[in-house]
Homo-oligomer: A and B are copies of this chain.
C-alpha cells in the first residue's frame, strides 16, 4: 500500500470504527462494558516477542547495559537512558530532549515502556522496529552523533569488557561487536520492558481492578470515540492518524502568530515529502500516560486533563464536559504499571574511560 493510501485508509478506518462504537449503547452493565473493552483492547503480553528476535537472557542483559552506555556518543554524555530515564518512567519529562551541545530535539521523547509493541517506531513511523531505532540513533547528529557505524563500532570495541558479553549474546557471529548487534541487544532489552497495569487485570476478567470512576471513564473513553484510534494492547500505537482531524490543533490551542509562523511539525510529510502525509503522526500509545507528561509529539501540553480536552476537540470535534474529562483521566490512570525491576536497577558498565 502506498504511503498516501495508507494514510487515507487509517483515517477512514478510524472514522468507521468511531461511528460503530458511538452507536453502541452504554447501558449494558458491568459485563457489557467488559465485553466491549475486551473487543477493543488486549492485555499486555509478557514480552514483545518476534520470530527472529531471540530474547535470550544474555542478549537482554547486554541490551540493559548498552542502554546506559554513554561512551559511544560524540560528547561522551548521551545514552538511551539520557532521554529515557529510569527515574522518569522511561522519559525525560521535557517537551523536547536535550541532545549534543545542548541542542533541543524537535519532538518529545516517548517512554520506552511497551514501545516495542507498537506497529512502527518514532512519531513519523520512520523506524520499523526498536532494533532499527536503536542502531540508527548511533548516527543521529543530536543523539550519538557518530559519522558512520565504523566510528561507533570502534568506540564499542575499545571497551574491552564488551567482547565477552557480545560473544555470549551473539554466539554464532564471527565478529559479534557490531552496530547491528548493538541494535539487536538494545531492542531485546526494550522488548522486555512491559508494564502490566490494573487495566490488564480488568481485561482478564477481574472487574474489581478498576474502581467505579475508572469504569465510567473507560465507558466514556469508548463512547466518546477515543478508542477509535487508541486501541489494542498498547491503547494506541497501532495506526497513523492526522493530528488535528476536525480542527487545526495550533489554532484551537490558541497559538500565537509567532508560533504559527515558526511552522508546524508536518509529521510523516517530513519523511515521505507527500502532501497527503502532512500532519499525519503515529497515534500515541497511552500505556503509562498519566506518569509520562508532557503530551503530544511536541510536548506542548503539560497536564493530562488538558491533553484529553484538546484531543476530544481537535480529533473528535467535541467539547467534553469537565466530568467526562475527569472520568477519562481516572481511567487512563489504570494504564500505569510498575516500573520493570530490571529497568530501575541500573547495571554497572565495563570499565574504560577516554582521557584528554
- Measured CB to CB, the residues of A under 8 A from B are 65, 68-71, 75-77, 81-82, 85-89, 92-95, 97-98, 100-103, 290-291, 293-295, 298-302, 339, 344-349, 351-356
Establish whether residues B87 and A348, one from each chain, have CB atoms under 8 Å apart when the complex forms.
yes
A255 smallest CB distance to B (angstroms): 10
Check A294/B355 contact, CB under 8 A, given A77-B98, A93-B70, A100-B102.
yes
Check B355 against A291 for contact (C-beta < 8 Å).
Answer: no
Q: Roughly how many angstroms separate A124 CA and B80 CA in the complex, as a whole number?
A: 33
Q: Known contacts being A293-B351, A346-B346, is A75 close to B93, with CB within 8 Å? A: no
Q: How far is the CA of A349 from the CA of B92 in the complex (A)?
A: 11
- Chain B, residue nearest A346 (CB): B86
Assembled-state Cα–Cα distance A354/B349 (Å): 31
CA distance A174 to B85 in the complex (A): 33
Bound CA span A76–B95, Å: 10
Chain B residue nearest in CB terms to A291: B351
Task: Decide: A85 near B70, CB < 8 A? Known: A302-B353, A355-B294.
Answer: yes
Q: Is the CB of A349 within 8 A of B102?
A: no
Check B87 against A346 for contact (C-beta < 8 Å): yes
In the complex, residue of chain B having the shortest beta-carbon distance to the beta carbon of A69: B87
> CB < 8 Å: which of B75, B76, B93, B344 contacts A353?
B93
Contacting residues, chain B, for A300 (C-beta < 8 A): 355-356
Nearest neighbor of A96 in chain B, beta-carbon distance: B356
Bound-complex Cα distance A69 to B291 (A): 15
Q: Are A85 and B68 in contact (CB under 8 A)?
A: yes
Which B residues are CB-close (under 8 A) to A65? 87
A-B contacts, 16 listed (Cβ < 8 Å): A75-B98, A76-B92, A77-B92, A82-B82, A87-B346, A89-B348, A93-B354, A94-B353, A95-B353, A95-B355, A293-B355, A295-B355, A300-B355, A301-B355, A302-B354, A344-B347
CA distance A302 to B339 in the complex (A): 36
Q: Which residue of B lies closest to A98 (CB)?
A: B77
How far, in Å, is A146 (CB) from chain B's closest CB? 16
Give the Cβ gap from A74 to chain B, nearest Cβ, in Å. Answer: 10
Inter-chain CA distance A302–B158, complex, in Å, is 12
B93 adjacent to A290 (CB under 8 Å): no
Known: A93-B76, A346-B86, A348-B87. A355 touches B302 (CB 8 A): yes
Instruction: Report how far A294 CA is from B355 CA in the complex, Å.
Output: 6
The answer to whether A87 and B351 have CB atoms under 8 Å apart is: no
